[in-house]
């Protein structure tokens, strides 16, 4: 089994700020200095424009081409991705979904749905659209650049608590399994994964799933999240029962004096896939 550790500090999806770029570099410095990584080079032009209802469309499409080429050359069995924003998920998730023939549950730890289309997005920031893109909707140049698309039946949203109205409608129409914070319970989550019937699991971690009182250094801090103990407990529980083929660690926007020691267990899970 070969694991790819991917450093993809794409910041363009979060707007005209490079915080997420520096966040990725800090995670690398603190936790990955002795780990073999592949890094995607990121455009540093900060005069982003909105094209096709997506801010930074050109850069995002270009970087997507880079990362799909890299993954296609390496052909890993598993991928650990350090972002960057949630929008870095397109290549890893669509690749693994293709590799495992759709035999994949995608678990999305995130305060948000990331389910907007370019036209429904209020902000036009692409980090609010990656999951919907992975489901095959949105800008078709970007969709076509992905390795495959996933189906709503493969998806579990955990910790979701800030959804736009079109996202709520999409979740309802497609019966997407959602665990709001108050319903998060590791055995119930395991039951859901079991019920879906897939053998492999992809885990998306947007750090804004955590409560801002515990971890405020994210692009979109959202009140009433979970704590590290709960997150790690669920991750261990999933690892003990399923084949985790991909994991991501996303949306870290560093602040002076931050201590990110408590990301260690997530990183360890990722590099040991
Ligand atoms: Mn997100």
Residue 8 has pLDDT above 90, yes or no: yes
Residue 45 has pLDDT above 90, yes or no: no
236 CA distance to ligand 1 centroid (A)?
22
109 CA distance to ligand 1 centroid (A)?
8
110 CA distance to ligand 1 centroid (A)?
5
**Residue 46: predicted pLDDT:** 81
Percent of the chain whose predicted confidence (pLDDT) is above 70: 100
d(CA 120, CA 255): 31
Percent of the chain whose predicted confidence (pLDDT) is above 90: 97
Taking only the tens place, the pLDDT of each residue in 122-157 is 999 999 999 999 999 999 999 999 999 999 999 999
Residue 27 has pLDDT above 90, yes or no: yes
What mean pLDDT is predicted for residues 115-123?
97
Whether residue 196 is preceded by a cis peptide bond, meaning omega within 30 degrees of 0, is no
- How many Cα neighbours within 13 Å face the side chain of 167? 23
206 CA distance to ligand 1 centroid (A)?
5
191 CA distance to ligand 1 centroid (A)?
24
Q: Domain 3-271: state its class.
A: alpha beta
pLDDT bucket at 10, cuts 50 / 70 / 90: very high
11 CA distance to ligand 1 centroid (A)?
13
d(CA 194, CA 176): 15
What mean pLDDT is predicted for residues 93-116?
98
pTM tops 0.85: yes
Give CA separation, 225 vs 41, 162, 174, 209, 216, in Å.
Answer: 32, 11, 25, 6, 11
204 CA distance to ligand 1 centroid (A)?
9
202 CA distance to ligand 1 centroid (A)?
15
69 CA distance to ligand 1 centroid (A)?
24
86 CA distance to ligand 1 centroid (A)?
5
Q: Is the Cβ–Cβ distance between 195 and 187 less than 8 Å?
A: no
251 CA distance to ligand 1 centroid (A)?
7
Give CA separation, 148 vs 83, 95, 111, 255, in Å.
Answer: 21, 7, 25, 36
DSSP sequence for 31-91: H-TTS--EE----------EETTEETHHHHHHHHHHHHHHHHHH--SEEEEEESSGGGGHH
Residues flanking ion ligand 1, Cβ below 5 Å: 86, 110, 112, 114, 206
Residue 113 has pLDDT above 90, yes or no: yes
What mean pLDDT is predicted for residues 209-234?
97
d(CA 46, CA 67): 20
**Residue 249: predicted pLDDT:** 98
**Residue 1: predicted pLDDT:** 84
180 CA distance to ligand 1 centroid (A)?
15
207 CA distance to ligand 1 centroid (A)?
8
d(CA 9, CA 40): 7
Closest CA to 207 of 195, 199, 216: 216
Q: Is the Cβ–Cβ distance between 234 and 242 less than 8 Å?
A: no
d(CA 97, CA 107): 13
189 CA distance to ligand 1 centroid (A)?
20
Q: What is the mean pLDDT of the chain?
A: 97
90 CA distance to ligand 1 centroid (A)?
12
257 contacts: CB under 8 Å, gap ≥ 6: none
What mean pLDDT is predicted for residues 68-91?
98
Angle of helix 19-31 relative to helix 264-271, nearest 10 degrees, comes to 80
Q: Is the Cβ–Cβ distance between 6 and 78 less than 8 Å?
A: no
Other Cβ atoms within 10 Å of 186 Cβ, number: 14
């Amino acid at each position: 089994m070969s694991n790819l550790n991917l450093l993809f500090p794409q910041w363009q999806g979060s707007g005209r700020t490079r915080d997420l770029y520096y966040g990725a570099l800090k995670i690398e410095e603190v936790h990955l200095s002795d780990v073999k990584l592949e890094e995607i080079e990121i455009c540093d032009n900060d005069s982003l424009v909105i094209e096709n209802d997506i801010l930074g469309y050109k850069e995002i499409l270009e970087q997507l081409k880079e990362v799909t080429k890299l993954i296609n050359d390496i052909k890993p069995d598993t991928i650990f991705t350090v972002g960057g924003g949630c929008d870095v998920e397109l290549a890893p998730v669509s690749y693994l979904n293709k590799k495992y023939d759709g035999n994949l549950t995608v678990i999305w730890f995130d305060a948000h749905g990331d389910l907007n289309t370019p036209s429904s997005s209020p902000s036009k920031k692409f980090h609010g659209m990656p999951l919907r893109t992975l489901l095959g909707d949105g800008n078709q140049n970007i969709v076509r650049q992905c390795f495959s698309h996933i189906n709503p039946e493969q998806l579990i949203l955990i910790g979701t608590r800030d959804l736009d109205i079109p996202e709520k409608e999409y979740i309802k129409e497609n019966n997407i399994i959602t665990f709001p914070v108050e319903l998060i319970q590791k055995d119930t989550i395991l039951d859901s994964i079991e019920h879906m019937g897939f053998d492999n699991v992809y885990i998306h971690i947007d750090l804004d799933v955590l409560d801002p009182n515990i971890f405020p250094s994210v692009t979109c801090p959202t009140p009433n999240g979970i704590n590290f103990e709960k997150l790690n407990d669920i991750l261990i529980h999933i690892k003990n029962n399923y084949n985790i083929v991909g994991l991501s660690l996303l949306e870290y926007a560093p602040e002076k004096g931050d201590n990110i020691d408590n990301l260690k267990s997530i990183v360890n899970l990722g590099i040991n896939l």
